Amino acid sequence: MPRKPDLMPGTLDMLVLKTLARGPLHGYGIALSIKKLSQDVLTVEEGSLYPALQRLLLQSWVKAEWKMTETNRRARYYTLTAAGRKQLGIELSQFEQMIAAIGRVLQDA
């Protein structure tokens, strides 16, 4: 019995970068945003999200700074860098290429 994954493996970095392309956001906010926009189909677990953010930081695709939220709580805000924006473009086009290729395999013919 294969388990239904919370998200499609390999797409998380792209989703996070895209979310940050709309403006800086803290981790928790990123998870909420993806969940909401996907209409609850995609759920980003903390154990997936924070390692992903560490990856993105290491690559300098995002930068982070501690700030206070509107609700007066400490939070780490992530901002997309120029390199991150470029990387997002690369991942988007690779993703679309893959989806198109899978679509061809799935076609009835």
Partner DNA sequence: CTCTATCCATAGATAATCTATATATATAGA
Partner DNA sequence: TCTATATATATAGATTATCTATGGATAGAG
Stretch that binds its own copies, among 46-54, 63-71, 73-81, 95-103 (CB under 8 A): 95-103
Other beta carbons within 10 Å of 43: 13
State in angstroms the smallest separation of the CB of 70 from DNA.
7
**Phi, psi values for residue 103, rounded to 5°:** -55, -40
Other beta carbons within 10 Å of 15: 21
User: 42 to 61, contacts with its own copies by CB under 8 A?
Assistant: 42
Q: What is the DSSP string of 18-56?
A: HHHHTS-EEHHHHHHHHHHHTTTS----HHHHHHHHHHH
Contacted entry of its own copies, DNA, none for residue 102, CB cut-off 5 to 8 Å set by kind? its own copies
Task: Compute the C-alpha angle 16/20/21, nearest 5°.
Answer: 115
With respect to DNA, which residue has the nearer C-beta, 70 or 108?
70
Stretch that binds DNA, among 33-41, 75-83, 90-98, 100-108 (CB under 7 A): 75-83
| Options 22, 36, 73, 86; binder of DNA; rule CB under 7 A | 73
**Residues of the shown chain interacting with DNA in the complex, contacts defined by CB under 7 A:** 2-3, 5-7, 9-13, 26-29, 32, 44-48, 50-55, 69, 71-77
